[in-house]
Structure 1
Amino acid sequence: MDQNYLHQAATMLPFKFEQVQAALTLLTAGNTVPFIARYRKEQTGNLDEVALRQIASTYEQVEKLARRKQTVLNGIAEQGKLTASLRKQIEAATDLITVEDLYLPYKHKKQTKAQKARAAGLEPLARLLLTKGTARVADFINPTSGILTTTDALAGAHEIMAEAFGENAGLRGWMRQRFQQHGRVVTRKKASGQKNDPQEVYATYYDWELPVKKIAPYQVLAINRAEKAGVIQVKIDPDDSYIYQYLHSRYSSRQPDNQYLQAAYLDGYKRFIKPAIEREIRTTMTEQAVTAAVKVFGNNLYHLLMQAPLKGRTVLGWDPAFRTGCKLAVVDPTGKLLAKTVIYPHELSKGQKATSQQRAQAARELVAMIQRYQVEMIAIGNGTASRESAQFVATVIQQHALAVKFVIVNEAGASVYSASELARQEFPDLNVEERSAISIARRLQDPLAELIKIDPQAIGVGQYQHDLPTKELSAQVDAIVETSVNQVGVNLNTASAELLTHISGLSKTTAHNIVAYRNEHGNFTNRIQLKQVPRLGPKAFEQAAGFLRVVNGENILDNTNIHPESYPLVQRLLTELGLKPEQIGTEAIGLALVGVSLSQLAHQLGVGETTLNDIIADLKKPGRDYREQMPAPLLRDDVLHLADLKPGMHLQGTVRNVVDFGAFVDVGVKQDGLVHISQLSTNYVANPREVVAVGDIVDVWVIAVDQKRERLQLSMMAPETGK
C-alpha cells in the first residue's frame, strides 16, 4: 500500500483517515470485505461492506490516475517537450480528463492536416497570422511539399491554428464547464422514427429537451436506447451564440480585424472542441447513468435475496401454462422433491379451453396432492397463465375449505436455471418445466439459496439492465451476492457448492472440496473439521469459519455468527456472568445482563463493545437469521382482476421492482401497478429507495386503471388523509 495514494484516497472519502488506513491495511493483508465488516469492526470504526468497497475502489482510482500521469509524463519527455510548468500542471491534475487535455497536443495520432502543414514549413506563417493578421504568404509556397499557391499556404496555416485552438487545455476546460452547466440535451424524432417505434414506446423523446445537469439516469438510458433503435436524433446544445461571443471577447478584443484569427478559433470550436466535448459529455452522462442503474439493480437484488424465508413449510410449486398444462411439484421443508404432476385447468390445445369436467378433474388432482402431502403453501410463478392459475387455486381453496394460502412468486430466471447444467445434475430425470416448478417452490422456502443458482441479470429487478455493461453489472452482482450470503450464513451440512462459493475466503475449488468431504465422511459435527478439507488452509478457515454454521452439532456456538477465534472470550464472558454453556439461547442470558454495564464488561474482557454486543445477540438467539427482520411474503386466498379495481380502492401489495421514477407493486392482478415517485409520500422524495424496497408489503390506493393498455396507477398516500 503506497502511503501517498493512501493520503490522497482519504481526502476523497467521507471517513476518518484512521478508518481508511485500517480498511486498506486489512484488505491488503488478504482479508475479505465480509470478514472485515463483521469481525474487525473495532479496527475500522464499524465500517460496513458498502463503505469498505468504496474505500477499495477509491484507492484503485488514485492508483490508476497516478499510473496514467506517469505514462503521460514519460510520453512527453520522450519527445523532449516536457517543461517544468507542464510537469507541474500534470502532477497537480486531480482527474483523468484534465490529464488527457494536457496530453492531447503531444499525443501520437494519425497524421492530421495540421501536421502535414507543419511538415511543409507553414508553422511560422500560422504564428504570424495569429499575432499580426498579415504576412508575406508567397514566401511560404513550397512545391516540393505540395504548397503550390498562396491559397494552399493559407489553408495549411489555418489548419495549424484551428488545431492549436482545438487542443488548448484551458479552452477545452471552459467549454466543458459550459456544456455541463448550461448545455441542453435535445432529442427529435427521425424521419424513419415512426417505422422503428410502431408502438410509440419512445414517444416522450420525439420532441424533448432538458438541461444536462437535470437529466435523470433513467432518461439517459432511455435516450440511448431510442437513438440506438433509430427512433430519435440526439444532440447537446450549449447555446453557440453565447460561446461565439465568449471567443470573440477572449481572442479578438486586441485584434478585432484579424479574420485569420477569428476563422481559426471558430473552426477550432466547431470542428474539434464541440464534437469532442459533446461526445465526452454524453459518455460521462452514460457512465453516470450506468453507475446509477447498476446501484439500482444491486439494491433491488439485495432486497430480493434477503426476503424472509418460509422455513419448515411443505410447499407446492406451480409453473403455470395454458396448452402444455400447469406443472406442479411438492417439496418438503428441506426442499426435497416429494411429488410432481401436470394438470390442465385452462386449455387442452391451442384455442380450446378446458371444459368444466376437465377443470373439475384438475381440481381433484390438486386437492389430492395438497391433502396427501399436507401442503401448507402454494407458490405460483408469475409467468404466462399466472393470474388464471391463481383464480383457479383460489376457487379450489374456497370450494374445499382448504387451510392453504398461495403466493405469486417472481419466476424470472427460473427457466434459465431449469435448463442449466446445475439443474440437470440435480434433477437428471426431470424435464425443464418440472425443474422450474421445484425452483418456484424453493424460492418461497429460501429465496437466497435458490436465487443464488440463477444468473442475477435474468431476474429483472432493475431499470434497463440489459443495456448495462456486463463487466460493471457482474461486479455489482458479485458484491451483492457476497454480502447477502455472508450476512445470512449457510448451513455447512446442506449448502450446495454454488452457495458455498460465495462464502468469504472460499473458492470454487474449496467449496466443491467441502461438499466432497461431506459426502465421504458424513455431516460436519463442528467447524474445526473444516481444517481437514483439502486445500482449505489457515487463512481460508479464518475468513470462512464464522459464516458457516453447524446446526445441532457438538458446540452450540458453531450455529452462531460468533467466530471460533472468539470462543475463549465467550467462555470468559459466561464465567463472568455466572452462566453455563447449556444456558446459551435461554432467557438466562438476558437476565444475567440486567444492570450490567456493557462498556465496563467489555473493558474487563479486553474486547470492543461492538463485538461484545454482537456476541451477546448470538448467545441470546443461536441460529438467528438476519432475514427474519425482513417483510414476510404477502399470502393470499383470493384474486382480483383489473376490471375489479376502481379509483380510490385500498389494496395491499408486494413491491416487485424499484426504479428511479417510482416502484412497481403486485396487488394481485395481472399487471404490476406503478407508484410514481410523486405518489410515494406526502414529503419530497429524491430517491424511491429511501421509501420502499423490493419485497416490502405496502398499502396502496388505486388512482387510475387503463384496461386497454393494461396499466395501473397507484398511490401510497391515502386519499382521505393525504398520508
Structure 2
Amino acid sequence: MTEAFDPVRVAAENLRLPLNPTRNVIEMLQNDYTVAFITRYRAERTNGMNENQIRSIENQFKRLSSVLAKQENIIKTLTKDKKLTPELERSIRHARTLADVEELYAPYKKGAKTSLAERARQLGIEPLARLVLDRQKSVDMKSQVDGSRKGLESVKAVETALKNIIADIISKDAATRERLKRLAERSVMLESSARSSSKEEKEEFDRKYQDYFRFSSPFRFLKAHQILALNRGEQQKVLSVKLVLPKLDETAHLDWAKRKWIRHDAAAEIFALIEKSLLDAHSRLMIPKVLRELRRDATESAEREGVAVFIENLKRVLLTPPVRGATVLGIDPGYRHGCKVAAVDSTGRILFTTVLHLLLIPKRRAKEELRAIIDEQRCKLLAIGNGKGSRETQEIVSDVIRSKSLWHREVSYCIVDESGASLYSVSPIAQEEMPDLEPNLRSAVSIARRLQDPLAELVKIDPKHLGIGMYQHDMPKKMLDDALAGVIEDAVSLVGVDLNACSVPLLRHVAGMGPTRAKAVVDYREKNGAFVNRSQLRKVKGIGAKTFEQCAGFVRISQASVPLPPPPPPPPSPPRLIKDDDDDDDDDDDFVPQRAAGKSRKRKAGAAAKVSTESKRRKKNDDLPEPFDATNIHPESYEAARKLLELVGATVDQLGQEVLRQKLGRLSLRNVADDLKIGVPTLELIVDAFRRPVRDLRDDFNEPIFRKSVLSMADLRRGAILTGRVTNVVSFGVFVDVGVETSGLVHVSSLRGAQLHYGDQVRVEVDKVELDRKRIGLLLA
C-alpha cells in the first residue's frame, strides 16, 4: 500500500523553508495562535519568519491537508466499491491538487458517465489489451467476437474496444504525460479573438479588451494581469480564447511516443492498432487534459499573484502615515448635489458640516463661501475627494490659497482617494457613529478622517472597494477574504491601538479580539472609565487567558490617557489617650492608648488579614499604571525587561533617552539573553522598545503630498519632471499620481529593477500624454 504524504514536510519543501520551524508554525496555528502573535512574540520557534512566510505556510498546509483528506475518502470509497487497483491508488496518492484527485475519481463516481475504456474493460478484454502492448505479436481477435454482446459483435468492434483500453493506458502513463506537459509549457501558444456583440456592447468592451481582439502570445510569457483579463473576457463572452500546440512540437512528441510504445519488431496489424490508440490518446485524452491543466495552473498562479499584489497595496494603504494635530476640512466634490463639506478637529470630532454648490455658482462667490468656512473653523489642511468634480474643486481651493487672504499662511490641500466612502456612509458603522448626519455628509467626514488616521478609518470599509489591486473582483472569494482579513490584522497589530481611544471597528482587528470581544472592551471602558493598565483587560467578559495572551502586546495604554491616581490617604491620627484610674504613683502610666477592640476581636481579624493580603496586593497593583504598557513589550516579558534595566543600571524613567541607548549599545545580546533565560529575538524586541518606547511604524513611510496649486493633463509636456505618489502597484507596472486628473503609468519595463510600493514618493519624467484616451506614460527620473 502506498503511504500518504506528510503535508508539513511537503509544505516546507514547496516553500523551501526548514522543516522544524515549519512544523512549529503549524502546531501553533492549530492551537489558535494568530499570525501576528507568532510573528512578533514566538520568533524563537519560527527562526524569525515574517508574517508573509507564516501565512504561506498556513495556506499551503490547509490546501495539502484538504488534498490528503480527499485522497483518503476516495480511496476508502473505491475500496468499498471494489474498484481500487494498485495503479489507481498510486495515481491518487501522487496527486497534489484537489482538481487532480477529483479528475482521477470522476469515472468511478456513482452515476458518472462510464468512459469508453471502462466500458471496454467491462467486456472482459483488458488482459488481451495488455498482452498486445506487452508482446506486440499477432493476436486472434476473432476468438473474442460474441454476437450477443454489444461491443464484441464483430472483429471491428473488438479492435475498437482494444484501442480504447490501450489509449487509456497510454494516457495515464506518468512519463508520457509529464513529457507532453513540459513540452506544452514551453511551446503552447495562446490565441484570442473578439466575439460578435451588439454595437453598444462593442463600444463598452472596445475600451476594456481591444488589446486582446487579435492577440497571440507564447503561453509561458503571459503576465498575471493578461491571464485574468483573458479569463474575464471569455466569461463575459467578449473573447474567444484557445491554446494551440505547434504542429512541429506535436509531431516531435508523437515520434517520441511511438518509439516508446511500439517495438521495432511489432507485427504490422499490432503496429497499426497501437499507433491508432496512441493518436487517439494524444488528441482525445492527453492534449485537452494538459491544456486544461496549463490554464488552470496559470489561473491559480495569476490569482495568487493578484491577491499578493492586492494585500501588499492594502497593507501600504493602511500604513499610510497619519496627519496629526490639525483641524481638517473634508470636501466630497459634486455637481448637482453640491460639494459636501465637513470640518473635524485633531481628534476627529465633527465641528461643522454643510453643503456648498461650489461648481454651480459664480467662482467668486464660491471662493468667498469656502474662504469663510476655512477661516471660521481655523482649518490648516483640506482633504479633497478624487471623485467627479475633484479637478474643478481643486482649482477653486488653489485660487483661495493663492489669494493669501486666509487666516493662516500655510494652508494646503491633499487629494484623498474616496473609494468606498459612499458605501461606508450608508453602512451600519457610519449610522452608529454619526446618527444625526445624512449619508452624503458622512462621506465628507470620512474623507477628512482618512487624512488624519487612514488606518482607523479604512478598517471600516470592505477592502475590495478601496480601488487598489488588480482584478480583485475576479478572485476566489474565500481566498481573497482570508488574505484581506490577515493583512488587516497584521497592519493593525503592527501599529497597535490605544486601548483608551480605539473604536470597535479598529479594535476588532487586533490579534485574538474579533467583533464581540472588541465591543465588550469598549463597553467596559465606557462603563468603568479609562483602562489604567493592560491587566485590567482580564476583567472584561470574554477576555480569558488565551485571548489576553494573544492581544495584550498589540494594545497600548498611553500614559496621557490614564487618569491620575487618587491622592494618598491622610496619615493616621495619633491614638487617643485615656486616663488610667489605678491608684499607683507612676504618673507615666496615667495615660494609655485606647484599644479599638478587645483581644478576641484582634485574634479573629488576624487570620483573615493574612489570607487576603496577597489578593489585596494584586488588586492594588491592578489599579496602578504600568510604564511598559505603552510599549510593544508583551506582559510575559515584563520581568525580563525589569531585570535588563537593573543589569544596565537604568530606570523606567530613562526609556527612550540617549543615556539608556548608550548602555544598551554596549551589551552582548547573546550573553544577556542567556543570563535572562530568554531568546535573542525576545531580547531584541525589548531593547528596541527601550530605545523607542512610543513608536508608530507608519512614521517610516512617506507622508501624503500636500499641494497649493493645480495642474491638468493639458499642462503636461514630454520631458517634464514631476514629484508623484504611487497609488497602485500591479504586475505590469505602477500607477503614479502626479497631481492631474488621472494617474500615470510607469511600465514594468521602465522600472529598471526598482521596487516601488503604494504610497512611495517618486520623481518621474513625462514620456507621453494621450488626452483622448486619458493615458499618461511616465519614466522614473
1:182 aligns with 2:253: no
User: How many Å apart are 1:219 and its aligned residue?
Assistant: 1.2
1:550 aligns with 2:557: yes
1:224 aligns with 2:295: no
1:259 aligns with 2:311: no
Matched residue SS, 1:444: helix
User: How many Å apart are 1:90 and its aligned residue?
Assistant: 5.6
- 2:373 equivalent in structure 1: 369
Matched residue SS, 1:311: coil
The amino acid that maps onto 2:258 is H
**Which of 696, 699, 710 lines up with 2:760 in the alignment?**
696
Residue 193 and residue 674 in structure 1: after superposition, are their counterparts in 2 closer, same or farther (change >3 A)?
A: farther
**Which of 42, 46, 60 lines up with 2:62 in the alignment?**
60
The amino acid that maps onto 1:704 is K
- 2:437 equivalent in structure 1: 430
Deviations 1:408-442 (A, max 9, x none): 01111111111111111111221221111111111
638-647 or 621-630: which moved more?
A: 621-630
Query: How is 1:215-614 mapped onto 2 (pairs within 5 angstroms)?
Result: 215-239=222-246, 240-254=250-264, 255=266, 257=269, 258-347=271-360, 354-355=361-362, 359-402=363-406, 403-552=410-559, 553=562, 554-593=625-664, 595-614=666-685
Deviations 1:266-320 (A, max 9, x none): 1222222222222221111111100010000011111111111111221111101
- 1:619 equivalent in structure 2: 690
The amino acid that maps onto 1:426 is E
Deviations 1:445-477 (A, max 9, x none): 111110000000011211111211111111110
- 1:36 equivalent in structure 2: 38
- 2:585 equivalent in structure 1: none
User: How many Å apart are 1:596 and its aligned residue?
Assistant: 4.1
634-643 or 550-559: which moved more?
A: 550-559
Residue 416 and residue 168 in structure 1: after superposition, are their counterparts in 2 closer, same or farther (change >3 A)?
A: same
The amino acid that maps onto 2:773 is R
The amino acid that maps onto 1:641 is S
- 2:211 equivalent in structure 1: 204
- 1:667 equivalent in structure 2: 738
Contact 1:126 1:157 in 2 (8 A): yes
Q: Distance in 1 between matches of 2:534 and 2:353?
A: 37
User: How many Å apart are 1:710 and its aligned residue?
Assistant: 1.4
- 1:636 equivalent in structure 2: 707
User: How many Å apart are 1:371 and its aligned residue?
Assistant: 1.5
Residue 102 and residue 420 in structure 1: after superposition, are their counterparts in 2 closer, same or farther (change >3 A)?
A: closer
Contact 1:125 1:135 in 2 (8 A): no
User: How many Å apart are 1:655 and its aligned residue?
Assistant: 0.6
Matched residue SS, 2:208: coil
Q: Distance in 1 between matches of 2:50 and 2:149?
A: 70
- 1:350 equivalent in structure 2: none
The amino acid that maps onto 2:42 is R
Deviations 1:8-63 (A, max 9, x none): 44344433334223323333333221112111222322222112222233333443
1:677 aligns with 2:741: no
Q: Distance in 1 between matches of 2:50 and 2:683?
A: 17
- 2:28 equivalent in structure 1: 26
Residue 670 and residue 266 in structure 1: after superposition, are their counterparts in 2 closer, same or farther (change >3 A)?
A: same
143-152 or 570-579: which moved more?
A: 143-152
User: How many Å apart are 1:663 and its aligned residue?
Assistant: 0.6
Pick the structure with greater CA Rg: 2
Contact 1:196 1:229 in 2 (8 A): no
The amino acid that maps onto 1:361 is R
Deviations 1:110-164 (A, max 9, x none): 2234444444556577567764566444852424547655555544444444444
Q: Distance in 1 between matches of 2:189 and 2:145?
A: 44
708-717 or 43-52: which moved more?
A: 43-52
Contact 1:562 1:615 in 2 (8 A): yes
- 1:46 equivalent in structure 2: 48
Matched residue SS, 1:425: helix
Contact 1:133 1:260 in 2 (8 A): no
User: How many Å apart are 1:213 and its aligned residue?
Assistant: 2.3
Deviations 1:572-605 (A, max 9, x none): 2222233332333433422443544444444433
User: How many Å apart are 1:222 and its aligned residue?
Assistant: 1.4
Deviations 1:612-638 (A, max 9, x none): 332233233333111111111111001
Q: How many residues align?
A: 700
Q: Distance in 2 between matches of 1:85 and 1:642?
A: 66
TM-score by length of 2: 0.84
Matched residue SS, 1:593: helix
User: How many Å apart are 1:680 and its aligned residue?
Assistant: 1.8
User: How many Å apart are 1:488 and its aligned residue?
Assistant: 0.3
Q: Distance in 1 between matches of 2:127 and 2:88?
A: 23
Q: Distance in 2 between matches of 1:86 and 1:177?
A: 23
Unaligned runs of 5+ in 2: 563-624
- 2:773 equivalent in structure 1: 709
Contact 1:185 1:236 in 2 (8 A): yes
Matched residue SS, 1:322: coil
56-65 or 520-529: which moved more?
A: 56-65
Q: Distance in 2 between matches of 1:81 and 1:461?
A: 50
Deviations 1:495-539 (A, max 9, x none): 111211111111221111001111111221211111110011011
* Amino-acid identity (%): 37
Residue 87 and residue 467 in structure 1: after superposition, are their counterparts in 2 closer, same or farther (change >3 A)?
A: closer
Contact 2:512 2:551 in 1 (8 A): yes
RMSD: 2.8
Residue 444 and residue 574 in structure 1: after superposition, are their counterparts in 2 closer, same or farther (change >3 A)?
A: same
The amino acid that maps onto 1:59 is F
Contact 1:294 1:465 in 2 (8 A): yes
1:111 aligns with 2:137: no
Contact 1:137 1:154 in 2 (8 A): no
Contact 1:331 1:441 in 2 (8 A): yes
Unaligned runs of 5+ in 1: 348-353, 718-723
Matched residue SS, 1:705: strand
Residue 367 and residue 634 in structure 1: after superposition, are their counterparts in 2 closer, same or farther (change >3 A)?
A: same
Q: Distance in 1 between matches of 2:168 and 2:207?
A: 43
Residue 205 and residue 93 in structure 1: after superposition, are their counterparts in 2 closer, same or farther (change >3 A)?
A: closer
